[in-house]
Amino acid sequence: MKKHLLVLAVLALIFSVSCENANKKENTDSDPLDVEKTDTELKLDIHTSQTSLDWKGTYVGTLPCADCEGIKTTIRLNEDLTYDAVMEYLGKEENSVGSKGYYKWSDDGLNIILSDDTETQYKVGENQLIQLDKSGNLVTGELADLYILKKQKMNSNKHIAFTDTKWKLVQLMGKEINDSEAFISFSTEESKVFGHAGCNTFSGKYAVENGSQISLDKVAVTMMACPDMTVEKQFMEVLNTTDNFSLQGNTMTLNKAKMAPLAVFEAVE
């Protein structure tokens, strides 16, 4: 009987030691995972779009539109958490809508939320903003790339003057301009404006008031005919309607009131 009890005691001791070792192994196995998870969470908290990217600047793109040719969107994010936005509904009359306000960062530091009526959200990436859907998710499918706004390059090392600079036309009425000789220049000598409209050359007078208000006068153009006069016709219409300009880095725009830019130019060095 005593021998039987001794055997039971030994078995109980072995079982107890085995359970203790198993618990130690479980604790040992879980600790590194917890540490690794904690490290990962810390990294996510540290390395966010808000803290790691140069997100300040101007972003431009054409978003899809259900009842127009597209929504030319320009958003400028300022360091003080304010923004300026212009939406141009291409192919519509009275098509420009401007807005200003504030934006805030999401808790994870990856998205911004505008203070507009719909609290539009954008995912902030490397030199781009990606518009999210109403639920705050990325748009997928064939049109996904059309929801991306690209950051505009700025020449921060050199001040480009409005006058005595050759400004090459790169965008006209919301459309990109390629393979065109069109440009404009504002000379300080006799306040003369001159340039190339795409087919013909033009020249006239200009005057600037209050730093950014501009008026063009007595603009004359040569009368040569070209196969395609579309760009030239629109360019001359812009010169007849513009009333202000803006400078940002190596980019100059001609505008009408606070509407979207009528024409965008880049400095030719």
Per-residue pLDDT band for 76 (boundaries 50, 70, 90) equals confident
Domain boundary among 91, 126, 151: 151
Which of 218, 197, 210 minimizes the C-alpha distance to 243?
Answer: 210
Alpha helices in 134-268 (DSSP H): 230-241
Q: pLDDT tens digits, residue range 38-65?
A: 444 444 445 788 988 989 888 989 999 8
In a domain? residue 79: yes
- pLDDT at residue 156 is higher than 70: no
- Do 263 and 182 have their domain in common? yes
Which residues fall within 8 angstroms of residue 257, CB to CB, at 6 or more apart? Answer: 243, 244
Domain that holds residue 94: 53-151
In a domain? residue 9: no
Q: How many domains does the chain have?
A: 2
- Looking up tokens 């600790």 gives 31
In a domain? residue 31: no
CATH number at residue 190: 2.40.128.270
Cα separations in angstroms, 52 against 47, 94, 110, 131: 6, 39, 10, 20
pLDDT of the residue at 252: 94
Domain boundary among 122, 151, 180: 151
- Do 91 and 143 have their domain in common? yes
pLDDT of the residue at 160: 80
Q: How far apart (Å, rounded) are the C-alpha atoms in residues 25 and 197? A: 79
Let me know: does 38 contact 46? Beta carbons within 8 Å.
Answer: no
**Residue 236 main-chain phi, psi, to 5 deg:** -70, -35
With a pLDDT cut of 90, the percent of the chain lying above it is: 48
Q: What is the mean pLDDT of the chain?
A: 82
Sign of the dihedral through C-alpha 238, 239, 241, 242: positive
Rounded average pLDDT over 68-80: 88
CATH number at residue 60: 2.40.128.640
pLDDT of the residue at 150: 92
Domain boundary among 151, 186, 221: 151
Rounded average pLDDT over 122-142: 93
- Do 144 and 72 have their domain in common? yes
Q: pLDDT tens digits, residue range 175-198?
A: 899 888 899 999 998 899 999 999
Q: Helix (H, G, I), strand (E, B), or coil: what is residue 43?
A: helix
In a domain? residue 190: yes
User: Among 71-75, 97-101, 102-106, whose mean pLDDT is lowest?
Assistant: 97-101
In a domain? residue 217: yes
User: Among 7-16, 62-71, 146-155, 171-180, whose mean pLDDT is lowest?
Assistant: 7-16
Q: How many beta carbons lie within 10 A of that of residue 104, not counting itself?
A: 12
pLDDT of the residue at 43: 44
In a domain? residue 111: yes
- pLDDT at residue 170 is higher than 80: yes
In a domain? residue 213: yes
Q: pLDDT tens digits, residue range 216-225?
A: 998 999 999 9
Q: What is the DSSP letter of 243?
A: -
Cα separations in angstroms, 208 against 92, 161, 163, 169, 188: 30, 13, 11, 20, 11
